[in-house]
Structures are given as C-alpha cells and as structure tokens.
Chain A
C-alpha cells in the first residue's frame, strides 16, 4: 500500500506541470537550507566567503542533490523512455520519406497477414459452437465411389441401436422446402434432423424448446425449429412466433423453438427451417436409399478409431443380413471438425503462407531501410558515444525507434485489415458464404489481436536488432573522422545484399505459386464440360410433390414446360433432367449389372440422370453412337438407357455396348437396352474425373425437381426473367430457382470459385512481393552507387568508358538477382509440391511457369538496377573528386 502510493506519486511526478512545480520547490528548499547554514556559519565566526563555501561543501553540490532528488521524484526508467520516444519521433519526422515508406510497407504486410489470419481463426481456430466439439464425429456409410456417403434410414436406426461406442447418434439431411406465403410458394433451404440432433451437438434453443424424444416419428405432429436469422428476418424476432404454423411442402409445421444466434452447422447449411425427421415415403423406408448423414458423440474414453471399428463391424453384420441392399456398404467416421472445415483448410493454409511470405518480404525491406539509415547515422552515433552515451542507452534508442515504427505500421495495418476482410468476403460468392457459416465469426477478436501483437513484437525485435547489432562495429574515432572510408560500407553492402537475395527468392516463391494457381484456374475454366456453354440457359424448377408426384402428372408437367418455353421468342430447344443440370453433381446413383455376365451380388454404383428427350441436343452434347430417347418412351415401353463414354470404356472395353443389356439388381432382372453412347458430360465438379454415368428417360423415372436447359439464339441473360415468368404462369405453386447462363454456372461453380479466390489472392500477394523485392534491390544498388561515387569518379577520370561503368553496376544487380532467382527456383518447386492438392492439371515443376517467372524477375531486376547505373555512368569525375 505504502509502495503503491509512492509509485503513484512518482508517476504523477512525471507530468510536466507537476515536474516543474517540484523543481521550483526543491530549488527554494535548497536555497533556504543554504541560507540557514550560512547564517549559522557566520554566527560561528566565519567570513562570508568561507561560510558560503562550507555550506555548499557540506550539501555535496547543488546539481548532484537536484539530480538525486529528481531520480526519486520520478521514475528514471520511464523518464528515459519518454526521452527516447520524443527523440525517435523527432528523428522519424525529420526523415519523412523513409518513415512513410517503412510504415506503409509494414502496414501492408500486417494488413495481409492479419486479414488472412482472421479467416484462419474463424474457420480453424475458433471452437465450433457445440458442447465439447472434439468428441463429435461425422458418421458415414462408405462405398467405393464415395468414401463418405449417406446413410439409409433403416441403416441409421440399426447403427444407432447396435453401436456400443457412441453416447448418441443422430441424423440430418440438408434439403429444400417450398414454404407457402401469401405471395405464393417460395423455395427455402432447410434440414430435417432426428429428434436428438441438437442434444448430441449440445445446442439449446434460445427460445422455445428442442425436439423431444420420438418427435421425429411419422406419428408425431410436425414441428420445426427456426434458425436465428430466419426468426429475425421472417418473424421480426417476435417471441410469439412459438406455436405458429408454417406450411412446408404443403404440410403445416408448428414452430416450437429458435436456435441460438451463434449456432451454425455447415454440412446442412444454408438452413432456415429445421424440421424433425418424420421418416416416411418410399426413400426413407428403403434400405438401399441413402439420404441421411450421421453425427455422433463418442462415449467418454472411446477413441475415434475404436468407434470406427465398431461401426465397421456393424456394417459388415448388416451386409450379411441384407446383402441385396448392403453389399459393399462400409462405415466411415471422421472428426466433425474435419467434416466442417476439412475442405477449406488447405486453401486457408495456402493463403496464410502467402500472406506470411509477403509479411516476411515487407519486414526484410524495412530492416534493409533501417540498415541504410543506421549507416548514414554513423556520425550521430559516434558523437553521442563520444559524449558519453552508454551502449545500452544507444540500443534503447534504436529499440524505441523500431517500436514506434512497428506501432505505427501495426495500427495502420490493423485498421486496413478490417477493411481488407470485408473486401475478401465480397470476393467470396454468396453461395459459398452460405455454405461456410463459420466465417460469420470473422473479425478483430482477441486471438487475431494477439496474432498481430506477436507479429509486431517479432518485427520490433528484428528492427531493433538490425541497427542495434551494428553499433558495436562503429568505431567512434572512425565515425568522427571526416569523409572516412571505413569498412562499414562493404560490411553493410554484404548484409544488405543477403537481405535482397532473401527478398527476391521469397518473391519468386510467391510468383511461382501465383503463376501455377492462375494456370490451374485457366485450365479449369477451359476444361471440356461436354456441353456447348454459350447461349445456354439453365434453371431449376421445384414442383410440389402433392400435385405432381404421380408419374403421369410429372410427365404431363414436363411436356407442358417444354412446350411453353419452346414458344418463347429466341428459344431454339429445351430439355430437362431430374434433380439439376450439369456441374451440380446431385449425387443420385444407381446400381446396375450387365446381363449375360456372371454376377455375385456386387454393387456397380454410378451416377444416374433422368433426362428428357432433347436434353442432349439442347446441351450440344454429341451422341457418339446410337440414338437419343424419344418422348413416347415411358413406363409402358421397354426400359432403355444411354451411357457415357467413360461407362463404355470401363464396362465394355473393345465391345459393342449397344449390343448389351443392363439390369437393375432386381430379381428377376428387368432388361435395360443400351440405345446410345454420349460424349462425357461433366455432371459433377470441374476438377474431378468423369465417372461412368447412366442416363434414363425421364418418362420412365419421373421426379418433381427439374433442371431445365434452354438453348437460345439471343443473349442468355435477357431470357432469364421470361423463363421464370413462364414457369409461374403454368402453376403459381411451382417455383423457379436460380436461373443462370451456363457460362456463369461454370465460372461460379464451387471448384472454379475456390480456384479463382486462391489465384486472385496469391496473385495479389505476388504482385506486391515483386514490387517490394524490386524496390529492395533498387535500394541496395542505389546505396552502393552512392557509396562508390569517388571510386567511380576515379575510374572515369582514369579513362573508364561509360559503358563499362554501366556494366559494373548492372553486373552487381544481376548477380544478386541471379542468386535470388536460383534459390527462389528451388524453394518454389518445393513450395509448389506442398500445394499440389490445390493445383489442377498443372505440375509443381511446370516449366513454362518457372521460366516466365524467372524472366519477369530478371527483367524487373534489370530495370531496377538501370536507374542507379545511369546515375553512376553520368558521374562527373571532377565533381566526384572535389566533393571530398
């Protein structure tokens, strides 16, 4: 308490006003002290002169007393710090060009790395909003084609019942609903989940209640939980929403609760309505229809491996029990975190590394600038040393200057990082944002600030070390000597050169990375999709199953839609496929066998598409052999199929596929005649290999969710509104979704978006890195020229040609660039091998990219050295020699 009070007073003593008052008071007190002492001395019989002298002597010096008093009345350490700070700011203000460059470069590095780190934090570091998320596991069935595939409802029930390693297992399905509103039916995204889903996650509704046990059974009344966003946007956040009914797919659901604001569950998002499962209908009850995903909580002390083994043995047991449906169906468990952020992790780590490299270049650049400055401040330091400044005090001065620089750069970087984050988010498509809800947590939170703090500390350490270390080399005498030609110049040149080589090599790594990613993107955008994308419009159509669920109804609807749209002006042809258009990869698969070949119950699984006659013609997909379907081929006619080339290659190598028949795995087998082979169409993502695909006539396998494709003679986008309006005219209950030109679909597809995002960002980093690297090289060469002015003057005076002076300087820069590029090449290939997974159809050692980047860097280096070389060549020998 006593000490605290003393420190507080000393701290207060540092305020300028207080300090002056204390100084005045002490002066008065010493004055009165001396007066009294002199009075006494006089009384003791001394002369005036003697009395004064003795009094001073015994006091021990006025200045020394004041000094000791001052140390006591303030905090000397802080006092020095303030002095250093004032001096540092004065120094930095005096050299505004240097200061602005250093702060800007630093802010740039900080901004990039902090912004990217914020993404990394939101996705990978911030814990998921569930209770004990590390104990949660994603539970999948596993087949050859999809290592993590859906569960069927009966399998889910068996797994739930038979497992001994999970304390709970629940199921979810991401799906669309049609919600009835006064303005007509509207498509919404939602999910259906089993009763214990939220309890397994450990999520409690903020309003109302969770589903109770058994509420997901078909016998229970239909209930729904709202997402927080849906509650706010659709219901204005009113609490009386509980108990209200909302009509989803024609059936009323009672709202029983609202989920917390921070809740998200990426695998089933975007989702506004979370209904209880209510297993019913053909798919839910069939063991071979896989539509659900599982999420389970591991029992205490049970490892993921143990649970995985447990599930696998159950799957094996079910395989024996139900060979028709379960043959080849294994089990796969993975941490839920992996399910949610596993895909985005490599991308984020790539970006973080890119930003880190940029930060490294920025820091090295600033360090080099500081070195140049410490070189030109040699005299100042020598003078200060000569006047008695201790090495500690000199170092503390450099540390203070570094801290001021880093603080300014850091604050500027943090402010711009906030803005950069918004910019980055705006680069992500809305669709992608909706599927990565964890990015909502983006911001300058405590972890991001801590990251910025650590980076700043490291930078400050580097910047104070760079010139601080050099102090020892200064020799006071040498520093003071006028026009001295010490060895310091060459020492610095060597150190500076190393920094520049480091910068150039780093820039090279970033440039190569960017080059490879851009090339990947280019290859991806030009990958054959088997479709003529120009003048092709696509749109999804969602019809209410209640009205169009029967086969005849769906066939009639399909015909009406085709007829009505074909009559629109400019439309050349129309086709449709069940469950979406190419690139959407809806994941519907089927099992077939080849008739006439031995079959032992194995499941040959492949994607299945149900298409209208004219679908291929509209897409511009070519039939290699055989014929297209005809509109009259419905269930009353023999079963037919068209296969893609991949199918023909895989199952009928060197055979005539059109002569073969397939069958579903029914007993007895129902023959399916192959009537055509179509060129491979990219039904799934752009960057995945095309598997064997089988096409059936829509009229033999109907659905109520259609993907329309329309070929038009005019501009695609002008057709979009008319398309939607036409669908609405047919039946207001039918909902058109997501009309888009095929070319837009290609460039907005998730794989293209991911590639574009990474190519743009790393490209941006690389351009900045190139700029910084070249500026760094320029700085070193220019400084070296300025140091060698006299030498060059002598050379010229002795008859050196201007050309040889040029060569001298450019050679110096050329060497640095060559070494930087060589080291950079080796590092780039290594780095590119690490990001292999993010490349598409490009090898890490892609020669054209490496060569182009090396050329760009080399040319940039030449340009950077040309300016100082010109200055060197134009040195006037008389001036240069007289200047000394």
Chain B
C-alpha cells in the first residue's frame, strides 16, 4: 500500500458525486469500491472516511438517502443525487478541469523564454 496516494482533502466529495451520477443511486460500500476501482487501485481509501463525507453532502443538500435492498439482497442505505447536487457537480468539475489545466501548463517543460 506504500505507493498509493492519499485522498486529497475536498476531492472525495467530487468523486462521490461523480460516482453517484455515473452509476445512479448507490450505497456507501458500492461508492467506496467504485472510487477504488476507478482510481485503478492507486488510491488508498479508508472506507470509514466516506461516511462523514456522505453526511456532509447530505447536510448540504447535494445528495439524499433512503434505505433499500442491494443486488445481493442486503438491506442498505442508497444515496442519490439531488438537483442541487447535480449543479454542484457541474461546477466542481469545471473548477477542477480549470485547475488541472493550469497546473499542467505550469508543470509542462517550458521552451519559450519569458
């Protein structure tokens, strides 16, 4: 596990939102697994940290939850995206794209003299 990256502060919420958007209503365990898989197992995620993050998103109204039954017939709490959540996701995605683009430009080997 040594060379796996920790989850950056603030990015977890974005990953959660994106995951739910992609897969539709999903329980906490499913979200955790999906984030791990999507990152190509490069990310070390304590599944436990997901729950406060989910609670925060729910308190902020970005997601809503309700109890249901999982594919394996287990009782589980499913989270779905609200309209506000969808909006937040769009905005956060845009912000991140911008940030990464800027950073990419900084980090690219520069050839033009200033």
Give the residue of B46, B51, B55 whose beta carbon is less than 8 angstroms from that of A30: B51
Whether B77 and A68, one on each chain, are in contact in the complex, defined by CB atoms closer than 8 angstroms, is: no
User: Which chain B residues in 52-74 approach chain A with CB under 8 Å?
Assistant: 52, 55-56, 59-61, 70, 72, 74
Q: A61-B48, A65-B51 are in contact. Are A33 and B56 (CB under 8 A)?
A: no
Among B29, B56, B60, the most chain A Cβ lie within 10 Å of the Cβ of B29
User: Which chain A residues in 100-145 approach chain B with CB under 8 Å?
Assistant: none
Whether A58 and B55, one on each chain, are in contact in the complex, defined by CB atoms closer than 8 angstroms, is: no
Q: Which residues of A contact B29 (CB under 8 A)?
A: 32-33, 36-37
Q: A2-B60, A2-B61, A69-B55 are in contact. Are A60 and B47 (CB under 8 A)?
A: yes
Whether B28 and A6, one on each chain, are in contact in the complex, defined by CB atoms closer than 8 angstroms, is: no
CA distance A10 to B75 in the complex (A): 26
Whether B46 and A58, one on each chain, are in contact in the complex, defined by CB atoms closer than 8 angstroms, is: yes
Q: Closest approach, in angstroms, between the C-beta of A121 and any C-beta of chain B?
A: 46
Is B18 an interface residue when CB atoms closer than 8 A count as contact? Answer: no
Whether B51 and A10, one on each chain, are in contact in the complex, defined by CB atoms closer than 8 angstroms, is: no
Give the residue of B46, B52, B77 whose beta carbon is less than 8 angstroms from that of A59: B46
Is B76 an interface residue when CB atoms closer than 8 A count as contact? Answer: yes
CA distance A36 to B33 in the complex (A): 11
Whether A9 and B59, one on each chain, are in contact in the complex, defined by CB atoms closer than 8 angstroms, is: yes
Q: Which residues of A contact B75 (CB under 8 A)?
A: 28, 32
Q: A33-B28, A37-B29 are in contact. Are A6 and B56 (CB under 8 A)?
A: yes
Q: Closest approach, in angstroms, between the C-beta of A420 and any C-beta of chain B?
A: 49
Give the residue of B48, B60, B61, B74 whose beta carbon is less than 8 angstroms from that of A32: B74
Is B80 an interface residue when CB atoms closer than 8 A count as contact? Answer: no
Give the residue of A2, A3, A39, A64 whose beta carbon is less than 8 angstroms from that of B48: A64
Is B49 an interface residue when CB atoms closer than 8 A count as contact? Answer: yes
Q: Closest approach, in angstroms, between the C-beta of B22 and any C-beta of chain A?
A: 19
Given contacts A2-B61, A32-B76, 12 further A-B pairs with CB under 8 A are A5-B60, A6-B56, A6-B60, A36-B76, A58-B47, A59-B48, A60-B49, A64-B48, A72-B55, A72-B56, A72-B59, A73-B55
Give the residue of A2, A6, A26 whose beta carbon is less than 8 angstroms from that of B51: A26
Q: Which residues of A contact B49 (CB under 8 A)?
A: 60, 65, 68
Q: Closest approach, in angstroms, between the C-beta of B86 and any C-beta of chain A?
A: 14
Is A553 an interface residue when CB atoms closer than 8 A count as contact? Answer: no
Q: Which residues of B contact A68 (CB under 8 A)?
A: 48-49, 51-52
Is A29 an interface residue when CB atoms closer than 8 A count as contact? Answer: yes
Is A35 an interface residue when CB atoms closer than 8 A count as contact? Answer: yes
Q: Name the 6 nearest CB pairs between A and B, nearest first.
A: A65-B48, A60-B46, A60-B48, A6-B59, A72-B52, A9-B59
Whether B74 and A59, one on each chain, are in contact in the complex, defined by CB atoms closer than 8 angstroms, is: no
Q: Which residues of A contact B56 (CB under 8 A)?
A: 6, 72
By secondary structure, the B interface counts as helix
In the complex, residue of chain B having the shortest beta-carbon distance to the beta carbon of A22: B55
Give the residue of B52, B59, B61, B76 whose beta carbon is less than 8 angstroms from that of A71: B52
Q: Mark B76-113, 1 if CB is under 8 A from A, else 0.
A: 11000000100000000000000000000000000000
Q: Closest approach, in angstroms, between the C-beta of B30 and any C-beta of chain A?
A: 8
Whether B77 and A29, one on each chain, are in contact in the complex, defined by CB atoms closer than 8 angstroms, is: yes
CA distance A36 to B26 in the complex (A): 13
Q: A33-B29, A58-B46, A60-B46 are in contact. Are A69 and B52 (CB under 8 A)?
A: yes
Q: Closest approach, in angstroms, between the C-beta of A15 and any C-beta of chain B?
A: 15
Whether B77 and A32, one on each chain, are in contact in the complex, defined by CB atoms closer than 8 angstroms, is: yes
In the complex, residue of chain B having the shortest beta-carbon distance to the beta carbon of A2: B60
Q: Which residues of B contact A28 (CB under 8 A)?
A: 75, 77
Q: Closest approach, in angstroms, between the C-beta of B42 and any C-beta of chain A?
A: 16
Q: Which residues of A contact B27 (CB under 8 A)?
A: 32-33, 36
In the complex, residue of chain A having the shortest beta-carbon distance to the beta carbon of B52: A72
Interface residues of B (CB under 8 A from A): 27-30, 33, 46-49, 51-52, 55-56, 59-61, 70, 72, 74-77, 84
Q: Closest approach, in angstroms, between the C-beta of B27 and any C-beta of chain A?
A: 7
Q: Closest approach, in angstroms, between the C-beta of B56 and any C-beta of chain A?
A: 6
Q: Closest approach, in angstroms, between the C-beta of B47 and any C-beta of chain A?
A: 5
User: Which chain A residues in 29-88 approach chain B with CB under 8 Å?
Assistant: 29-30, 32-33, 35-37, 39-40, 58-62, 64-65, 68-69, 71-73
Q: Closest approach, in angstroms, between the C-beta of A27 and any C-beta of chain B?
A: 11
CA distance A61 to B70 in the complex (A): 23
In the complex, residue of chain A having the shortest beta-carbon distance to the beta carbon of B88: A2
User: Which chain A residues in 845-866 approach chain B with CB under 8 Å?
Assistant: none
CA distance A10 to B59 in the complex (A): 8
Q: Which residues of B contact A25 (CB under 8 A)?
A: 77
CA distance A439 to B51 in the complex (A): 63
In the complex, residue of chain B having the shortest beta-carbon distance to the beta carbon of A3: B60
User: Which chain A residues in 339-377 approach chain B with CB under 8 Å?
Assistant: none
Q: Closest approach, in angstroms, between the C-beta of B32 and any C-beta of chain A?
A: 8
Q: Closest approach, in angstroms, between the C-beta of B66 and any C-beta of chain A?
A: 11
Q: Which residues of A contact B77 (CB under 8 A)?
A: 25, 28-29, 32
Whether A36 and B74, one on each chain, are in contact in the complex, defined by CB atoms closer than 8 angstroms, is: yes
CA distance A32 to B33 in the complex (A): 14
Return 11 A-B CB contacts under 8 Å, by A number: A2-B60, A5-B61, A29-B28, A30-B51, A33-B47, A35-B74, A36-B72, A36-B74, A59-B47, A65-B52, A68-B51
CA distance A36 to B59 in the complex (A): 25
Q: Which residues of B contact A6 (CB under 8 A)?
A: 56, 59-60
Q: Closest approach, in angstroms, between the C-beta of A346 and any C-beta of chain B?
A: 60
In the complex, residue of chain A having the shortest beta-carbon distance to the beta carbon of B77: A29
Q: Closest approach, in angstroms, between the C-beta of B9 and any C-beta of chain A?
A: 14
Among A6, A33, A61, A64, the most chain B Cβ lie within 10 Å of the Cβ of A33
In the complex, residue of chain B having the shortest beta-carbon distance to the beta carbon of A26: B51
CA distance A10 to B27 in the complex (A): 22
Q: Closest approach, in angstroms, between the C-beta of A32 and any C-beta of chain B?
A: 5
Q: Closest approach, in angstroms, between the C-beta of A533 and any C-beta of chain B?
A: 82
CA distance A422 to B61 in the complex (A): 55
Q: Closest approach, in angstroms, between the C-beta of B71 and any C-beta of chain A?
A: 9
Whether A39 and B55, one on each chain, are in contact in the complex, defined by CB atoms closer than 8 angstroms, is: no
CA distance A9 to B56 in the complex (A): 10
Q: Closest approach, in angstroms, between the C-beta of A762 and any C-beta of chain B?
A: 59
Q: Which residues of B contact A59 (CB under 8 A)?
A: 46-48
Q: Closest approach, in angstroms, between the C-beta of A30 and any C-beta of chain B?
A: 7
Q: Which residues of A contact B70 (CB under 8 A)?
A: 32, 36
Q: Mark A1-26, 1 if CB is under 8 A from B, else 0.
A: 01101100110000000000000011
Q: Which residues of A contact B72 (CB under 8 A)?
A: 36, 39
Q: Closest approach, in angstroms, between the C-beta of A638 and any C-beta of chain B?
A: 105
Whether B46 and A69, one on each chain, are in contact in the complex, defined by CB atoms closer than 8 angstroms, is: no
Q: Closest approach, in angstroms, between the C-beta of A383 and any C-beta of chain B?
A: 32
Q: Closest approach, in angstroms, between the C-beta of A536 and any C-beta of chain B?
A: 85
Whether A29 and B51, one on each chain, are in contact in the complex, defined by CB atoms closer than 8 angstroms, is: yes
Q: Which residues of B contact A30 (CB under 8 A)?
A: 51
CA distance A33 to B75 in the complex (A): 9
Q: Which residues of A contact B60 (CB under 8 A)?
A: 2-3, 5-6
Q: Closest approach, in angstroms, between the C-beta of B37 and any C-beta of chain A?
A: 12
Q: Which residues of A contact B76 (CB under 8 A)?
A: 29, 32-33, 36
Q: Which residues of B contact A37 (CB under 8 A)?
A: 29, 47
In the complex, residue of chain A having the shortest beta-carbon distance to the beta carbon of B70: A36
User: Which chain A residues in 668-705 approach chain B with CB under 8 Å?
Assistant: none
In the complex, residue of chain B having the shortest beta-carbon distance to the beta carbon of A29: B77
Q: Closest approach, in angstroms, between the C-beta of A68 and any C-beta of chain B?
A: 5
